[in-house]
Amino acid sequence: MRSTLVRIGIPILLRAPVTNSVFLVPTLVQRFGGAGLSSSVCDRKFLPENSRNRVQHTTRGFASNAVFRTMTASKYQVVERGAPNSTDYRVYFKNENGQSISPLHDIPLFANDERTVYNMVVEVPRWTNAKMEISLGEGLNPIKQDVKKGKLRFVANCFPHHGYIWNYGAFPQTWENPDHLDADTGCKGDNDPIDVLEIGSRIAKRGDVLQVKILGTIALIDEGETDWKIITINVNDPVADQVNDIADVETVFPGLLRASVEWFKIYKIPDGKPENQFAFNGEAKDAAFATKTVAETHRFWQQLVNKEVDNNGISCLNTTVDGSPYLVANDAADEVFAKSSTGGNPEPVSETLDKWHYITLK
């Protein structure tokens, strides 16, 4: 997917627009070009070497602006453990009574009785770079930073974007079953809760639990696995009433869908990976399709937490799921939290935060 990479290490005096809710998207339609996904993409981990001449890549300096904060959201509280910017850092969740809970299992998927509003757990606030995610293998499933080769992982700044361009997170009580072959994509699930992009104007905080409505979805194929990205908006956003389906996104946020597909196509290229691929030629599916997809992953989660299928290394410890073999008393959950690390050795600020990459898809 890439030709020779041109790296220009020129520092520039810019501050990242972390408080600006305007989406930084290109004005040229040609920036959003790209080939569609063939049916064989699920059968291969990487694209052929000779196809890498489609991408031109330049690296430049970018000012660092990483911020770590403690926050509370709705009726849930978050508690940080371990030193920030270390491999010991964790964000645990407690309910309104101060009891330890799992954000994956104990926060309901649905936020209203009509099942039209969903709870979203924010892992990565907009404009930030740290690749934070719900830890599947640890008891109570705290949020932690992904680690690669012993180092904390950050996503690169790919022009014109700074870090993540939406509030990024997951729906609780969902699971993309790695043993299930998706009929629409022809690929199996990625063993994670389903990912969520929240496109409203507010920059959320790590650990926020937002109430969102589903607008549509795009289907990333990540190294041969189906990785759904559900597009949502906070129901309290000023324009939420104007955005009810995928067509409304293009009307109210012109260019955002194209920018989102481009972001996922290029964000791994600075790490030496090929361009990511999409099902449906990168076209977004509507709210009805996305709602059906989420419902299916919710059913998979129910099978998981009720021990009807192998847990695939996922900790299913919970305090609220009636009938679950993994259900534990509150004091047992609190004990798991109490044993978590309070130390850690902070790493130096990653050079990823100080660079931006110009990548052109041809």
Is 301 among the domain residues?
Answer: yes
Rounded Cα distance between 231 and 70, Å, is 26
- The whole domain housing 296 covers 77-349
- Residue 68 placed within a domain: no
**How far is Cα 312 from Cα 307, in angstroms, rounded to an integer?**
11
Question: Residue 360: its pLDDT value, please?
Answer: 84
Check if the beta carbon of residue 176 is closer than 8 Å to that of residue 98.
no
Q: Per residue in 40-92, pLDDT tens?
A: 455 443 333 334 444 555 554 444 333 323 333 468 999 999 999 999 999 99
Q: Cα–Cα distance between 135 and 87 in angstroms, integer?
A: 12
Considering the domain boundaries, does residue 29 fall inside one? no
CATH of the domain at 341: 3.90.80.10
Query: What is residue 58's predicted lDDT score, i.e. its pLDDT?
Result: 54
Q: Is residue 311 part of a domain?
A: yes
CA distance 45 to 58: 25
Q: Would you say residue 148 has pLDDT above 60?
A: yes
Q: Is residue 355 part of a domain?
A: no
pLDDT digits (tens, 9 = 90+) for 168-199: 999 999 999 999 999 999 999 999 999 999 99
Count of the separate structural domains present in the chain? 1
Q: Parallel, antiparallel, or unpaired for β 225-234 and 195-198?
A: parallel
Q: Is the pLDDT of residue 222 over 80?
A: yes
359 in any annotated domain:
no
Per-residue pLDDT of 321-330, as tens digits, reads 999 999 999 9
Average pLDDT value for residue range 114-121: 98
Residues of the chain with pLDDT > 70, as a percent, come to 80
Q: Is the pLDDT of residue 152 over 80?
A: yes
Instruction: Compute the Cα dihedral for 5, 6, 10, 14 and give only its sign.
Output: negative
pLDDT for 27: 35
The yes-or-no verdict on residue 1 having pLDDT over 70 is no
Question: CA Rg, the chain, in Å?
Answer: 20
**Is residue 42 in a domain?**
no
* pLDDT for 223: 87
pLDDT given for residue 296 in this prediction:
98
d(CA 297, CA 238): 29
Indicate whether 8 pLDDT > 70.
no
Measured CA to CA in angstroms, residue 96 lies from 119, 170, 204, 329 at distances of 16, 21, 20, 16
- Residue 219 inside a domain? The answer is yes
**What's the mean per-residue pLDDT of the chain?**
85
